Amino acid sequence: MWLAAIQLVSGRNWQDNREQIAAELAALPKERPLLVLLPENFALFGERQGYLDGAEAIGMGSIQQQLAEWARGYGIWLVAGAMPTTIAGSDHIHTSSLVFDPSGELQGHYHKIHLFDVDVADNHGRYRESETFSPGDAPVLVDSPFGPLGLSICYDLRFPELYRQLARVGARVLLVPAAFTAVTGEAHWEPLLRARAIENQCYVVAANQGGTHETGRQTWGHSMVIDPWGRVLASKESGRGTILAQMEPGFIDELQRTMPVLTHARLL
């Protein structure tokens, strides 16, 4: 069983981003089953109006059609890290993660719960996702051959209670598509990812954007696959590329038997 993360430096245009993703998928190894995670904003990386114009209803649209074709054509579990999706009757949208199985069927989706409304000491400075997006309101677990997949997006990573809730209901792989800024990423990205893996005894697959974008925003990269002991199995520092690591489901079972932290946890 293999886990992969594709790192991109996405721009405003879906067709350009599509070509980059297609090139990475075409170079995938032949081993199956294979789970592939795309980063946040894989389809569109720009400003508010671009997200609003490019948003699709869940289960509809050309971007989702392409994702389904890729999943089916390559026989992979493809997790569309995060893309804009519409909300009926609202002038806001969701940023959503979608899970496609090897037959191209949409098996589940998750709307980002925690919105990035912060000030960062970088060349962008002010981030207010709530001006464009509405938050989701529920954790999501999707069944797969890799075990239940716990979905999350970027800023969610700072909220351990979400991942503990996913672990308590059986998550074995935690997915973290992101567009972490260079400033916050350098300080916190790897420690947070490794903590989520260790404390929940899960594999973590994190696909980040990794470079300087058309908008001038700078993202941290360092996409990673981390095992339940907190070891980084694969990582890519910057730029476009794919990382790959093997999953050993028995390792999770052994850890849960010898160090049953979820059983020991006490809610105070």
**Residues annotated as part of the active site:** 40, 112, 154
- In sequence order, the β-bridge partners of residue 204 are 174, 226
CA–CA separation, 260 vs 254, rounded Å?
9
- Spell out the residues 6+ positions from residue 255 whose beta carbon is closer than 8 angstroms to its own: 201, 228, 229
CA–CA separation, 206 vs 216, rounded Å?
23
On whether the CB atoms of residues 140 and 165 are closer than 8 A, the answer is: no
Structure tokens, 37: 């995670």
CA–CA separation, 113 vs 256, rounded Å?
28
Strands (E) in the chain, as ranges, are: 2-7, 34-37, 77-86, 93-100, 106-111, 117-119, 126-128, 141-142, 149-151, 173-178, 203-208, 223-226, 232-236, 241-246
- What angle in degrees, to the nearest 10, is found between the helix axes of 14-26 and 62-74? 10
Strands (E) in 123-214, as ranges, are: 126-128, 141-142, 149-151, 173-178, 203-208
On whether the CB atoms of residues 162 and 138 are closer than 8 A, the answer is: no
Task: Name the DSSP letter for residue 187.
Answer: I
